[in-house]
């Protein structure tokens, strides 16, 4: 996230930031630390980013340089329409910065087809790799913006103009950093597993496991925070039933079943649980264990 913002946002610029959960607010923080102005487009926690609200903000701020939004909001389990949001940004002359930390490998993310400009993800979610790496991609438009900057990038380590020199090939490479080789081998292996399964098959597996989980939660009377059309299959935010002790249930799952589910964040703290079905974790045996453990805990 920070690599995208410090390279593409200069002091004095205006960035439209979509906020429908925790990570949209982190985007705002990055914009402000770059010395730019964040124009906030707020939607309810659990709702996707509203294209209508975004379009209104773009029209109200024609001098904005960038539109930033979270594709898959990890704090709520809501998936936004990245293709439509990117189209609106292009129509108004804005670059896009897209958080795809939880979406990569779990739901369709068509970076080139949707013409997304700067997209970052994480190795530890649906790629099922060790944490510590953040895959990132920049479009030709984004690279052109970096090359035309009038201010130095505020972070030396994250300055992509220096990193591009590091990756330029043998014979003219500039030394930048020591690469985390073991982590890169791990990421290569996780991508190989995804390639062998097939990307579309991985998307379908996540959806199938979500439906399996939903059927069991329905029987337990547990409902979802996010409306069906916008639910992430890999991040299931569910409403804690009335009268149930949030922390006691999660502690019971952890101590009795060695199973951890996420607590609610921000506006959903104490109101929701977040059940992850990501990558290798999206398997029948994991869903069955979770449902049995929840049933036991609630009883």
**Tens digit of each residue's pLDDT (9 = 90 or more) over 228-237:** 999 999 999 9
What is the per-residue pLDDT for 170? 66
What is the per-residue pLDDT for 128? 95
Residues 222, 279 within the same domain: yes
Residues 162, 211 within the same domain: no
In this prediction, the residues of the chain whose per-residue pLDDT falls under 50 are none
Dihedral angle of Cα 9, 13, 19, 23, to the nearest 10 degrees: 20
Residues 29, 162 within the same domain: yes
Query: Where residue 107 sits, what CATH number does that domain have?
Result: 3.40.640.10
Instruction: Please indicate, yes or no, if residue 186 is contained in any of the structural domains.
Output: no
What is the per-residue pLDDT for 34? 97
Helices (H) and strands (E) in the chain, counts: 10, 11
> Is the separation of the CB atoms in 133 and 188 below 8 Å?
no
Instruction: Please indicate, yes or no, if residue 178 is contained in any of the structural domains.
Output: no
Instruction: Please indicate, yes or no, if residue 171 is contained in any of the structural domains.
Output: no
- Among residues 142, 123, 125, 141, the alpha carbon closest in space to that of 133 is found at 123
**Residue carrying structure tokens 């069991």:** 216
Domain that holds residue 226: 198-298
> Is the separation of the CB atoms in 14 and 36 below 8 Å?
yes
The number of distinct structural domains making up the chain is: 2
How many other C-beta atoms lie within 10 A of the C-beta of residue 297? 18
Residues 88, 154 within the same domain: yes
Residues 12, 93 within the same domain: yes
pTM exceeds 0.75 for this model: yes
What is the per-residue pLDDT for 104? 98
Could you give the angle at the alpha carbon of 18 between the alpha carbons of 49 and 108, nearest 5°?
Answer: 50
Instruction: Please indicate, yes or no, if residue 126 is contained in any of the structural domains.
Output: no
Helix (H) or strand (E) holding 42: strand 37-42
What is the per-residue pLDDT for 175? 83
The strands making up 262-263's β-sheet, listed across from edge to edge, are: 235-239, 272-276, 262-263
> Is the separation of the CB atoms in 206 and 77 below 8 Å?
no
Helix, strand and coil in the chain, % to nearest 5: 45, 15, 40
Instruction: Please indicate, yes or no, if residue 190 is contained in any of the structural domains.
Output: no
Residues 149, 34 within the same domain: yes
What is the per-residue pLDDT for 171? 67
Residues 157, 239 within the same domain: no
What is the per-residue pLDDT for 173? 75
What is the per-residue pLDDT for 46? 96
Residues 141, 269 within the same domain: no
């Amino acid at each position: 996230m920070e690599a995208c913002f410090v390279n593409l946002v200069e002091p004095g610029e205006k960035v439209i930031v979509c906020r429908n959960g925790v990570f949209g607010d982190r985007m705002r923080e990055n914009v402000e630390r770059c010395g730019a102005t964040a124009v906030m487009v707020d939607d309810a926690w659990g709702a996707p980013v509203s294209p209508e609200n975004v379009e209104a903000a773009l029209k109200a701020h024609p001098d904005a340089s960038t539109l930033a939004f979270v594709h898959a909001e990890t704090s709520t389990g809501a998936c936004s329409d990245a293709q439509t949001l990117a189209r609106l940004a292009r129509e108004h002359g804005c670059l896009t910065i897209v958080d795809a930390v939880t979406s990569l490998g779990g739901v369709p993310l068509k970076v080139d087809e949707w013409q997304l400009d700067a997209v970052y993800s994480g190795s530890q979610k649906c790629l099922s790799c060790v944490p510590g790496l953040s895959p990132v991609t920049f479009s030709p438009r984004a690279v052109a913006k970096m090359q035309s900057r009038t201010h130095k990038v505020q972070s030396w380590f994250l300055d992509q103009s220096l990193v591009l020199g590091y990756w330029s090939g043998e014979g003219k490479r500039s030394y930048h950093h020591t690469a985390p080789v073991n982590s890169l081998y791990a990421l290569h292996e996780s991508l190989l597993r995804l390639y062998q399964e097939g990307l579309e098959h991985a998307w379908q597996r996540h959806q199938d496991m979500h439906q399996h989980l939903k059927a069991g939660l329905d029987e337990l009377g547990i409902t979802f925070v996010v409306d069906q059309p916008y639910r992430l299959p890999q991040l299931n935010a569910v409403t804690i039933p009335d009268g149930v002790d949030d922390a006691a249930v999660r502690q019971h799952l952890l101590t009795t079943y060695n199973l951890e589910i996420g607590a609610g964040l921000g506006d959903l703290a104490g109101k929701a649980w977040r059940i992850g079905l990501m990558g290798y974790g999206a398997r029948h045996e994991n869903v069955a264990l979770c449902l049995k453990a929840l049933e036991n805990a609630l009883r």
